[in-house]
Structures are given as C-alpha cells and as structure tokens.
Amino acid sequence: MTQFDGRRSAFPDITMKNLARRVLFTLGAFVSLAVLSFLGIDALPGDGCTALLGRFGTDAKIAECREENQLTDPVVVRLGNWANDGVHGDLGYSIKRDEQVAQIVLPRIRNTAMLAVVAALMAFPSAIVAGLLIGRYPHSRIGRAINTLGVLAMTLPEFVIATILWLVFSIWIPIFPGVTVVPSNATVLELLPHIWMPALTLAAVVFAHSMRTMKAGVTTIQTMPFVESARLRGTKERVTLLRHILPAALPPVVNTIAVDAAWLLTGTFVTEAVFNYRGLGRLAIDAISDRDTAIILPIILFGLGVYLTMSLIADMVVRLLDPRLKQQRS
C-alpha cells in the first residue's frame, strides 16, 4: 500500500467529517434561530387574543381569552410547550382563524412549492445555457439582447415585472388568467392554470441572477491557461465549452441557484400578492396584517429551514464540482 493510496482512502473520511460538521452546524443554527424567533415574536405587542377581539375587546375579555389559551404562562413554559408540540408535529392553533395552523400553512407550502418548481424549471437550465453562450460569444446580437433583458430583470422591481407580464399575457394577449380565483386547498389540476403568470415573473428575476453569474464565470475562465492549452491542442470549441469551461464555471452558479431557490420558496410575497396566488407569501402578508403570531412563527421557521438546507446542499455540490477537489482525489 503506497502513501498515495493512503491519501486517497482518507479523503472520503475527511469529506464525511466535513459533511457531519456542516449538518450539526445547520441543526444548531436552526434551533438557535427558532428560539430567537419565538422570543422575538412573543415580545411584539399584541397576540392571538387581541387579533381576535380587536379594538372592541374589553380588558376582561382579552384576559379571559389569554387564560383559556395559556398565554399567561411564563415565556419559558410556553417556549417548552411550543417546542414539544413542534417535535410531535403540532404546529399550534390560530386563535384568530379558529383552526389548526397545520391545516392553514401546509396547503400554502404546497402551492408555493409548486410555483417554485415551475419557476426553477423555467429559469435555471436556460440561465446556465444562456450564460455559457453569452460569456463565450459576448458580442453576438442575441447575446447582447439577452444580456440587456437580464439587466432589466435585475433592475426593475418585482411588481413592475409582474404588471408588465400581466398586461401582455392576460390583457393584450389573453393566454393566462391574471388573478387566482381558486381556494388554497384546490387540487393541483385546478391550480395549474393559475400558476404560469407568477411563475414567469419569478423565473425572470432568478434567470437574470444565474445567467449573469454564469456569464461572469465563463468570461474569466475562458482566458485561463488550461483552456488555452486545450485550444492549442486542437480541441473542438464545443468540447472545450462543455468539458473545460462549463465544469469550472458551475460552482459559483450553484451558490447563486441555491440562494435563488430558497428565495423562490420564501420570498414570493410581492408576486403572490399581485396575482392573488394563494401561497405562503400571501398568507404571511395576511397573518402580519392580522397579527396572527401563531401563523407567522411557522412561516419564519420554514424560511429559516429552507435557507439553511439550501446552503448545506450548495456547499456539498460545490465540493463535488470544484476541479481543485477533484485533483485532490486523484
């Protein structure tokens, strides 16, 4: 057994150690942020009882409501009860809506997840291809046009993009419905016709981010010595693009895609409001307006979980794609 073989066999252990360390860090960060979120929301003025009774609720009625719903217990006790219920799958109860939080939030998560998947399938593959070609051929007419559209998509506010698409595809060329009229618990087939307009809006935004990241990477990498060496050896340009430039340009794009994918699941407030799409973003706006803290907290935790998970996945994928790590394996 040579020393080289020993280094090769040790590499997976190092990778697993790094993975275990990142997973533990992610779990610790989630628990810490969950506790801080609970304490922060608890410190805000108002609660489910004030939201339910409104300004017409007397002090006696509000006190009675708080007593019935155990809101007068010490914060440490309520935190422990909330954590214990969450571990057992109980997300709590909305006093304002008189309904279990899970029955309210889970259909909205499904709707937003559907929206995010459709937008991601529209945006990410096309962004990688467009960025690769525009970075390699920056002075072509198509490249300049796509780059200009990308700049506009990054600079225009989200609601402006949504309004433009609504005017074009719902008013001038009425292909898609402009407003969602089905309930949040509608079936997938009922929801599908209403998903395209918000998905196009979100896809335009994340396409621009990923495309420009890919373009910048290709522009930098195509002048590096290993690419020039491949061209001097007579390698076809298509092979150079796919075998040498693309793998080296992907790691930064993976990080951008991870952030954008997390945003697609948690940052769709404006788009969902414009199209009245019954997703998590629209629910968050309504819950904040109603001061329904029982719903706000699970939405915050869902967002934290998504961002931390996507960050972990992106880190692992970059480790697999990074050419320098591949050289360490060989």
Q: Model confidence over 277-296: pLDDT tens digits? A: 988 888 888 888 777 888 88
In terms of domains, do 146 and 54 share one?
no
Half-sphere exposure of 236 (CA within 13 A, CB side): 3
In terms of domains, do 39 and 106 share one?
no
In 55-170, which residue ranges form alpha helices assigned H by DSSP?
59-68, 75-87, 101-136, 141-155, 158-166
Q: Are 296 and 103 in contact (CB under 8 A)?
A: no
The tokens for 118 are 């459709």
Q: Which three-class secondary structure state does DSSP give residue 10?
A: helix
In terms of domains, do 140 and 245 share one?
yes
pLDDT at 9 over 70: no
What does the pLDDT look like over 47-78, one tens digit per residue?
Answer: 778 777 777 778 888 888 888 888 888 889 98
Per-residue pLDDT at 322: 66
In terms of domains, do 62 and 85 share one?
yes
Q: Among 74, 94, 114, give the residue marking a domain's end.
A: 94
DSSP letters of 239-251? HHIIIIIHHHHHH
Confidence grade of residue 7 (pLDDT, cut at 50, 70, 90) = very low
Q: Residue 248: CB partners within 8 Å, gap ≥ 6?
A: 217, 221, 224, 323
In terms of domains, do 62 and 113 share one?
no
In terms of domains, do 183 and 147 share one?
yes
Considering its fold, how many domains does the chain have in total? Answer: 2
Q: Residue 20: give the domain boundaries.
A: 3-94
pLDDT at 125 over 90: yes
Q: Among 30, 60, 94, give the residue marking a domain's end.
A: 94
User: What is the pLDDT averaged over residues 100-124?
Assistant: 92
Per-residue pLDDT at 288: 82
Q: Among 94, 119, 150, give the residue marking a domain's end.
A: 94
Query: Which range (3-17, 122-136, 251-265, 270-284) has the least confidence?
Result: 3-17
In terms of domains, do 167 and 291 share one?
yes
Parallel, antiparallel, or unpaired for β 99-100 and 93-94?
antiparallel
In terms of domains, do 285 and 320 share one?
yes
pLDDT at 326 over 80: no
Burial classification of residue 219, based on how many CB atoms lie within 10 Å of its CB (0-12 exposed, 13-18 middle, 19 or more buried): middle
Per-residue pLDDT at 108: 92
CATH number at residue 236: 1.10.3720.10
pLDDT at 10 over 70: no
Question: What is the average pLDDT score of the chain?
Answer: 83
What does the pLDDT look like over 296-306, one tens digit per residue?
Answer: 889 988 988 89
In terms of domains, do 107 and 85 share one?
no
Per-residue pLDDT at 114: 92
In terms of domains, do 226 and 247 share one?
yes
Its sign, for the CA torsion 37, 199, 270, 190, is negative
- The one-letter code for the residue type at 204 is A
Per-residue pLDDT at 159: 87
In terms of domains, do 144 and 187 share one?
yes
In terms of domains, do 34 and 131 share one?
no
Per-residue pLDDT at 110: 92
